[in-house]
Structure 1
């Protein structure tokens, strides 16, 4: 693989990791799964709003997914350091697929229960939390370390491509049919596309846990194993700060719980909801396709802070827009910034942590990355009900940008971080 690792100077996306067959297969499977999941990601809040008429209930979907995410994300991360990561991926994928089928059945039966939607969202979150740490932790095991930023960029770009096409297609489906029929079709397409992920995961080679040299204890997937990972994390300010800025960005500046209400009340419903849910992903995909420069940046911590500030400002500006297309444009700018932020956060975590702890830290990372937007859903929905949609949307973006600047200035370890500063990996 050495001939494929020469660093390109182009601004276009770095595709060298696709020359690795195992990575290429997982990349295709993950992209198909994320595309399919976007149908469910749109259908569930749309169905919830149709059933309850409340943005707070839509925001509660985030809370429903948060608790199992906290529990199973940490456990899944610890398990990824103890068991074969391929087997763990298969287990989590089965849970996710069965939950999608349950969502399809309840929609076909015409069940109008917000509580059932919350329950199924929680179970689906548990499946995601079990598999996600292993899915990300395998990347440095199947590509050379020098290609980890490029591999992460490809993964995020594929997922955002699905994030563009999936919500747009879901919006068209919901716009053509009634809400009830539209969500049925959306759930069915998600269940069908998820089979591609099963194929890609099944074809993975075994990825057993690694053991650091000199280790005398058997690693644990229980509380002791989780504590070991957390103990390492709290001694590493670079990792702590990278997690903190992401929480700030997602909790305060994620407006997606407001999309169903804005689409209905400001733009007359129909396909507008699909455009809103796709907008951030459109920008992220554009950012990914022009991301050849990302791997050449050495001050990754500073770039991460700058990207989060840009995200918050763009979100605030989008909330002031009265035109659908201007709102989509500003959300797309935010999405491009989020792509840059996501790649650097993931790369810092993967290259900073030794492999025998990578699963546990990836579990914490999963809790932060997936839990932050869920808390953001609750914050956005509840704030909008108490004040207004505009106040919740714009104010959250400005707060996120300001807090990111404060964190960067008061805790300079992240701003000063360069990749070669990571601790050594005893493998």
Structure 2
């Protein structure tokens, strides 16, 4: 079973973890609700994918700049400030949803561009906040508890992905999208209190000036850190080609039925795999070849993406009725796609545990903010590239194509890139051993 030692050892980590778990549930509700809101306005999967497209460049800038700020200023203060901005943007989504509901009552819809603007602001603030919180872990926990802490973070993420989308599906279909966003705003209070209760976390060692010099220093460190660099590359591959989430509104309307209920259920199914891996993560402390573990986990991830694509392809050929609500769900498709999503979530969580541990253990504290910034850019920006990829390919070819083709690409690329050996040492990513962490 999961090791709870990090929660017992550090009250600060416990408060941060509990608050992040609760607020994460609300955040995932908003992710689902935004997709439903934009699909309701536009009837376009491509328009849903544009949520990630518009936010991508600002998020990259926010991750890199926010990571640099976390290496210069007090990390607690930075986390508090960015959390306040994210909170305000969630309240803005409530107002926009009310506006659209009022317009819909008169036979129209609110314009879609304000949703793109507000979700981009929210993504930027959340990126800076997440970057800062990630760089805090090694300051409030000893090194031997880091891998167990990342496993606990998987439980928090899994709980958020399980409960958030399911709650969003139910609330959206019963109370409406405005209430879904409002519940997120309330739950965010717990996350803010967890950040607020952190101790002061100023920069260790000599003072540094924020600016391009700090960014260049971080880039130079990453340039001479092939293992950390490869951990980012393999995750970009997985997130770009293996995420089918942007397809869910269309699947709920056509292939599977159920509408928003299907969107919530499939998203939650992915989280079931995540949380099960985290709950039974006790053995992670005894796994030392993290490079091998990451490569194998992402390969399995690609295989489940293929399964998802095959199921959608076959179901598209089956004659069945799909309609909103529980009665309109085509259950054979729902079950099979749910199993595939659980497999995707489980494989991604195994990879995430070892990637995060590698980044923390193999880097010095004065560099962790910038590396966490890159990490957050990858784990949040990669899925947005994936949303664009899936949206374009689904529109051009079919809903089955993005996961089926993408899964095959993942399996091939991971087999190739993780076996590339460094010319100077003859050592590959698969040789990484956490008992002798080398960046």
Band the TM-score falls in, shorter-chain normalisation: over 0.9
Where in structure 2 are there 5+ consecutive unaligned residues?
Answer: 101-108, 316-332, 422-426
Count of matched residue pairs:
404
SS at structure 2 position matched to 1:409: coil
Alpha-carbon displacement from aligned partner over 1:97-139 (angstroms, at most 9, x marks no partner):
0000000001112262221111111101110122111100111
* Alignment CA distance shift 1:304-1:404 (3 Å): same
CA contact under 8 A between 2:419 and 2:429: conserved in structure 1? no
Deviation at 1:413, TM superposition (A): 2.2
CA contact under 8 A between 2:3 and 2:281: conserved in structure 1? yes
Supply the RMSD in Å over aligned alpha carbons.
Answer: 1.3
Aligned to 2:106: none
Mapped to 2, the partners of 1:351 and 1:101 lie a distance apart of: 38
Mapped to 1, the partners of 2:413 and 2:16 lie a distance apart of: 36
Aligned to 2:147: 149
* Alignment CA distance shift 1:423-1:267 (3 Å): closer
- Is it true that 1:410 corresponds to 2:420 in the alignment? yes
CA contact under 8 A between 2:308 and 2:341: conserved in structure 1? yes
CA contact under 8 A between 1:78 and 1:220: conserved in structure 2? no
Aligned to 1:38: 28
Mapped to 2, the partners of 1:201 and 1:245 lie a distance apart of: 30
Alpha-carbon displacement from aligned partner over 1:330-383 (angstroms, at most 9, x marks no partner):
110111111111111111001111001110111111111110000000000001
Deviation at 1:327, TM superposition (A): 0.6
CA contact under 8 A between 1:13 and 1:292: conserved in structure 2? yes
CA contact under 8 A between 2:249 and 2:260: conserved in structure 1? no
SS at structure 2 position matched to 1:306: helix
Mapped to 2, the partners of 1:368 and 1:164 lie a distance apart of: 22
Out of 57-66 and 98-107, give the one that drifted further: 57-66
Deviation at 1:239, TM superposition (A): 0.9
Aligned to 1:340: 350
- Is it true that 1:187 corresponds to 2:181 in the alignment? yes
- Is it true that 1:117 corresponds to 2:132 in the alignment? no
CA contact under 8 A between 1:79 and 1:220: conserved in structure 2? no
Mapped to 2, the partners of 1:195 and 1:252 lie a distance apart of: 34
Deviation at 1:90, TM superposition (A): 0.4
Mapped to 2, the partners of 1:129 and 1:221 lie a distance apart of: 18
Q: 1:163 aligns with which of 161, 164, 177?
A: 161
TM-score, normalised to structure 2's length?
A: 0.90
Aligned to 2:248: 259
Where in structure 1 are there 5+ consecutive unaligned residues?
Answer: 1-11
TM-score, normalised to structure 1's length?
A: 0.92
Alpha-carbon displacement from aligned partner over 1:381-408 (angstroms, at most 9, x marks no partner):
0011011110112111121122111111
Q: 1:324 aligns with which of 325, 334, 338?
A: 334
